[in-house]
Copies of this chain bind each other. A is one copy, B any other.
Amino acid sequence: MATIQDVARSAGVSTATVSRVLSAPGRVAEATRARVLAAVDSLGYSPNVAAKMLRTLRTQKILVTVPDISNPFFSQVIRGVEEAASAAGYSVLLGDTRHEPEREDQYAAMLRRKEADGLIFLGHRLSDTLAEMAAALGPGAPIVNGCEYSPALAVSSAHIDNQQAAAEAMAHLYGLGHRRVGVVTGPLASPLSRDRLAGVRAAAQIAGVQAAGAVEGLAVATGDFSVEAGAALARDMLSAATPPTALFCFSDEMAMGALAALRGLGLACPRDVSLVGFDDIRFAAYLDPPLTTVSQPMAEIGHETVRLLLEILSGQAAAPRNVTLPHRLVVRASTAAPVAGTSAGG
């Protein structure tokens, strides 16, 4: 491994000059620069990152933590992060927290030890020590939230308008004539779930006013975004005395579970039960029936979080920015008007 010393010797200059050629090419004379560059690639030199890091306190690394990397929604966002990061000359340190606070703390410590220049966390949980750090450093804290937006944490974030998106999904169901809708949320500790639930309630209210008394109610169950939870909760809801005619799941994964559950109960989708998911993961269009869902721009969320982080790292961030990216309700075949007999109209 050639060092900067070797290059300097081979080009007949000092290490300072070599360093300048590589980082501030303008400050060194044309001829010298050429000589140095020749030496650089004849020796195949590339700077030692550890030395550079020690000196500059910059790692060129972004730490990305995610509650569950095997969740396709997150893995698509991460793909976007990786893409944008590597385009900007950063590498990605991956942390799968598995929803465990100790692991969150462990990764938080990495950031505090400056093993990465910044942190992008997907999901809503930020370790306490980092929350303090964010509060202390203000907009300069190199921490960005992806997918979620927690007003309590004063950090930049990239996400969709979850409330609005959920309201649209519900409006779609009400528009089709559904009156009893079951909702399978994510953990309510997450603002994202609460926002969506708020959207759901707002839509229900509007629908109730428009068709006075026609909305019979909302069954709400709290899931954890997994197929298994979707299946279990959908089964419960659909086994109730007056089951909903439509189900809205806060993730496509849960919708997949719900689909399996309703089949298990001998019900058909959308004939007996309409189903709406959330995320539009790659498989949503390939389910049977193809899933109506809220499409999130996953790659774009990833890109945007990186952009926000780089903005902070370059010192240009005056205040946290919360970027709302566009979502889209994708109507496929899993939603339809309820069969007349089923809808016990008020």
Whether A156 sits at the interface, judged by CB under 8 Å, is: no
Q: Are the C-beta atoms of B70 and A76 separated by less than 8 Å?
A: yes
Whether A231 sits at the interface, judged by CB under 8 Å, is: yes
Known: A227-B282, A260-B286, A288-B259. A82 touches B53 (CB 8 A): no
3 nearest interchain CB pairs? A50-B53, A50-B54, A94-B94
11 additional A-B residue pairs with CB within 8 Å, beyond A48-B113, A79-B96, A92-B95: A1-B114, A49-B115, A50-B54, A50-B59, A64-B94, A78-B94, A83-B96, A91-B93, A91-B110, A93-B93, A260-B285
* Max chain B C-beta neighbours (<10 A), residue from A49, A110, A290: A49
Q: How far is the CA of A54 from the CA of B75 in the complex (A)?
A: 33
Q: Are the C-beta atoms of B69 and A72 separated by less than 8 Å?
A: no
| Residue contacts A-B, CB under 8 angstroms, 14 given | A49-B114, A50-B50, A50-B53, A50-B59, A70-B78, A82-B95, A83-B96, A91-B110, A92-B94, A92-B95, A259-B286, A260-B285, A260-B288, A287-B287
Whether A46 sits at the interface, judged by CB under 8 Å, is: yes
* Contacting residue for A283 out of B68, B283, B288, CB 8 A: B283
Whether A257 sits at the interface, judged by CB under 8 Å, is: yes
Whether A342 sits at the interface, judged by CB under 8 Å, is: no
Q: How far is the CA of A264 from the CA of B53 in the complex (A)?
A: 56
A298 (CB) vs chain B CBs: closest residue: B70
Q: Mark A83-107, 1 if CB is under 8 A from B, else 0.
A: 1001000011111101000010010
Whether A143 sits at the interface, judged by CB under 8 Å, is: no
Residue positions of A touching B, CB distance < 8 A:
1, 46, 48-51, 53-54, 59, 61, 64, 68-72, 75-76, 78-79, 82-83, 86, 91-96, 98, 103, 106, 109-110, 113-115, 227, 231, 253, 256-257, 259-260, 263, 282-283, 285-288, 290
* Contact residues in B for A1 (Cβ distance below 8 Å): 114
* Contacting residue for A115 out of B91, B94, B259, CB 8 A: B91
A113 (CB) vs chain B CBs: closest residue: B46
* Contact residues in B for A110 (Cβ distance below 8 Å): 91
* Contact residues in B for A64 (Cβ distance below 8 Å): 94
A96 (CB) vs chain B CBs: closest residue: B82
* Contact residues in B for A75 (Cβ distance below 8 Å): 69-72, 75
* Contacting residue for A86 out of B103, B285, B290, CB 8 A: B103
* Contact residues in B for A72 (Cβ distance below 8 Å): 70, 72, 75
Q: Are the C-beta atoms of A113 and B49 separated by less than 8 Å?
A: yes
* Contacting residue for A79 out of B69, B76, B231, B257, CB 8 A: B69
* Contact residues in B for A260 (Cβ distance below 8 Å): 285-288, 290
